Amino acid sequence: MSIHAQGMRAWLLQRLSGAYIAVYLVLALFIIGTGPRLDYVRWHELLSQPPVSIATLLFFLFLLIHAWVGIRDVLLDYIQLQALRFSILMVLALGLLTMGIWVSMILFSVVQL
Amino acid sequence: MLTKSRRPKYLNLIKINLPITGIASILHRISGVLLFLSIPFLIYALSLSLRSPESFAQVQAFFDNMLIRALGLMLVYALAHHFFAGIRFLLLDLDIGLDLKTARASALAAILAGLTIFVLVVIGILL
């Protein structure tokens, strides 16, 4: 039962994160595309606004979760050797976690509260 | 756990006739892996772009390199296909378009939409 529940959670998380990523990207393209030419000043000013940096932080967190579920699915399909599979999943998890901390630090250093 | 199958393996890729829905699906997977591999570069570019006007210009200058530009375009296509095929999968999960005829049509539509975005971006760069 718990295995089923976990699979269901991953399935749902994959869809929800995918939907958020899609909406964020469309909005981001719209905002960047409709304003004046994107230079450093506008870019920095845009990401220093809390709503934008929070939405962007959520984008990256959802992106990393989306990548975790997706790449995990691919690895489970192609890597049958349990020890190797586990090792690669560990490296993947550590890598994604590192990227999550990294991008949080970048965004926290820009946001003007 | 994995029982050895006695079924013959037949992996002549040229002779495998993948239906259009299967093409949309495998492209969704390949594009997903490519996009995943691009994430650290994306974060690095974000970090540089916000550091100073000089490093912002540095990120732009990366794309003067034709190889980087080609890789960027490949990622644009990967994202476009992943986006449209992903929306199609979301709809299928909501039981929308499950019958074979609609599923084939939507697979073709997702593939064409991804290619269209790619062509538009290439044209946009050339103009």
What mean pLDDT is reported for chain B? 93
Q: Smallest Cβ distance to A80: which of B2, B47, B50? A: B2
pLDDT of A4 above 80: no
What mean pLDDT is reported for chain A? 94
Tell me whether A102 touches chain B (CB under 8 Å). Answer: yes
What would the mean pLDDT of A17-46 be, rounded to a whole number?
96
| Spatial separation of the C-alpha atoms in residues B87 and B30, rounded to whole Å | 16
- Residue A1 confidence class, pLDDT cut points 50, 70, 90: very low
Q: Which of B47, B75, B79 to mutate to test the interface with A (most CBs of A within 10 A)?
A: B47
The ipTM (two decimal places) reads 0.93
What would the mean pLDDT of A94-106 be, rounded to a whole number?
98
> What is the CATH T-level fold of the domain B20-126, as seen in this structure?
3 helical TM bundles of succinate and fumarate reductases (1.20.1300)
DSSP label at residue B8:
P
Question: What pLDDT, in 10s, does the model give residues B85-124?
Answer: 999 999 999 999 999 999 999 999 999 999 999 999 999 9
Question: What pLDDT, in 10s, does the model give residues B42-59?
Answer: 999 999 999 999 999 999
Q: Which tokens belong to B10?
A: 């037949």
For residue B35, which residues of chain A lie inside 8 Å, CB to CB?
67
Q: Smallest Cβ distance to A74: which of B29, B47, B79? A: B29
CB contact under 8 A, B52 and A40: yes
**pTM of the shown model:** 0.91
Helix locations, chain A, DSSP H: 2-34, 40-48, 50-78, 82-110
For residue A44, which residues of chain B lie inside 8 Å, CB to CB?
50
Which domains are assigned to chain A?
2-110 (1.20.1300.10)
Query: Which pLDDT does position A113 carry in this prediction?
Result: 82
CB contact under 8 A, A39 and B56: yes
C-beta separation of B33 from A74 below 8 A: yes
Query: How many interchain CB pairs under 8 A, A with B?
Result: 52
Q: Output the DSSP codes for A55-83.
A: HHHHHHHHHHHHHHHHHHHHHHHH---HH
C-beta separation of A40 from B53 below 8 A: yes
- Residue B7 confidence class, pLDDT cut points 50, 70, 90: confident
Query: Residues, chain A, total?
Result: 113
